[in-house]
Structure formats: C-alpha cells, structure tokens
Amino acid sequence: MLKIRIAFFGTSGWLLTSMHLERFIKRKANLVVLVSSPEGVIKSTVQNQGSAENLKEASERLDIPLLLAENIGSDEFKFKLKQYRPDVIVVCGFPLFIPGAVRRIAPLGAVNFHSSLLPRHAGKHPGFWTIWYGDKTSGMTVHFMDEGIDTGDIIYTSKVSVCSGDSIDLLYSRIWESSLKLVDRLLEDFESRSIKAKPQDMSEYIYNYDITDKDFELDFRQPAEILADRIGMLSGKFYFILEGNRYYVNRCRIIDEPLKTRKFRLNIPYLVDDAVFFVTPRKCLVIEEVIKDEKLINPKNLVKAESFYANL
C-alpha cells in the first residue's frame, strides 16, 4: 500500500465517483476515510450510473471509515475528519463547496477531478454545457482547490473529442475513461512529492450555472449543427415554440440549403421535398420526430397550408 494518506470525497451511486474510486483502490492507494455527500444533493444529467462499486459498498468491503458530509463546514465534521490525519483530500463528483478550513486539514491540500478543460465550463453540468456551446474538444482537469469554484492551479488534463451525435452519457464515458490514467500519475507524483501545477488563464474562465427550462428552447439563430447536437445529447428534452405551443424534438437531421435563396423567415417551419425544416444561419434543421402533449405528431402538420413559394 502507498504511504500518502487520502481522504476521498465523492457521491455514492455517482459513476464519476465510483469509476475513480475503483482506480484508486486498484492502485493500492492509502484511503484512510471516504466522505460522501448527502443523498439528493447532486443533480445529474447522466442517465447511466453504471455498476461500479459505490462509496458505501467499498467502505463495507474494505473496512474504510465512511463520513456523511451533512454539514461540511461544522466543527463536528472538521473534528471527525482530523481524526484520520489525511495528507491530501481527493475529490471526484462531490457537489458541495469545501471550505478552506476543511481543505487545510490536509497539509497537501485538496485535489479535484473536473469533467471539462478548465478554465472553460467551470461549475455545474460541464458535459451538458460542452455540447450546448458546440465545443469540439473536452476532457478532464485535475486541479488544486482554492476559494473559487474550479479556479485552482491545474495539475493534469486529459483530452477527448466531442463527436457529432454524442449523448451526455457517451461524452462523460469518454472523458472519465481518459482520466483514469491520471489517477496513477497523481499517486506517483504525490508519493515522490513532485506535484507540479500551473495557474489557470482566468481570461478564459467560463462558469456555468444550473440548467434552466429556457436552456432547452431551440434558438434558430444558432447553426443547425449546434442545434442538432443539443437535441442528440438529450432526445425529447429540447423544444421549439410555435403559435404559443411547445413541441419537443425526438429526432432531427441536417440538410444543405434546399433552394438558392435566403428569403426564408426565422422560426417558421417550411416543407420542401417532403422535409419539414427550420432555417438557421448555416444549413437547415429537419424535424423528423416531434412530440406535443406527450404524443407523437406528424411534423408536416406544423407547416401552414399555403405554399411559401409565393413569398420567395
């Protein structure tokens, strides 16, 4: 077993936590205590939570103490954590802010695994916002924690491509698989006391807040490729509003300009060559399957009976 004493913070049942905990265990990390966030705190866009061993199961199997962080800033919690004399705190999928008084219990500080390429997409739901913004690259950032939100010095990164048609689960799976090797480096560098980190370029910092209903409304001022990827990551969640009614898109595709004209109106569905589409600044978004009031409807029913050719 390695010497460095680790307090591992995560969320029981959360795949990010479970995958990385498994790697720490496999590499014989000296896990002196596991710390779990309270139930119901984390809000996830991930649908597949996998079958990896969770914090509670690992605690019972390996006889590692488990603390529940019901009030992480309390004197009681700090007292309990101090009893295990951790050298470092490692955070994987722990949604609560860790105060400085808790971080300083570990002389080597606190290290966080964040599922984006910081300083881009700090904060909540980084996978969702990566696809929402149309990024082509993502990855994992391992960084020291400080008083900001995901603003601490960067230790390592791993990079993956964001592919057209990615669901959030697929993107996260690719990011998390790519980052498991960083666990090995982290343990080796901490054991040899050779950790190196560099400050973030805060001019590139983007903080993302909680997802709201408005974030799921399709904005046809965005290119068709971005809108199609948003729909693809959470099928049936993104919608458009037409004549006061909300329509959720299950399936779509992208086509080139069907006519040599730009005399289309924004936010109006058109029918050309049997395809119902909305124009965007680049290419057109074909609506193939749409839901209203929890029922599938024919997209052609959205198009006005009169031909739009008269307006071209």
The reported pLDDT for the residue numbered 4 is 96
The verdict on 198 and 281 lying in the same domain is: no
Write the pLDDT tens digit of every residue in 197-236.
999 999 999 999 999 999 999 999 999 999 999 999 999 9
Residues 13-29 pLDDT 10s: 889 999 999 999 999 99
pLDDT at position 48: 58
Strands 284-292 and 275-279: antiparallel
Could you tell me if 233 and 248 are in contact, meaning their C-beta atoms sit under 8 angstroms apart?
no
Domain final position from 179, 208, 237: 208
For tokens 């408005």, name the residue: 214
Q: Which CATH number is 295's domain given?
A: 3.10.25.10
User: Is the separation of the CB atoms in 125 and 93 below 8 Å?
Assistant: no
Which parts of the chain register pLDDT below 70? 40-51, 261, 305-312
Query: What pLDDT is stored for residue 306 in this prediction?
Result: 45
- One domain for residues 51 and 117: yes
Q: Note the helical H segments in 83-167.
A: 100-103, 126-132
Do both 103 and 235 map to the same domain?
no
Stated pTM of the model: 0.91
**Domain span including residue 183:** 5-208
| pLDDT at residue 283 in the model | 93
CA dist., res. 201 & res. 95, Å (int): 24
Three-class SS state of 12: coil
Are 121 and 135 within one domain?
A: yes
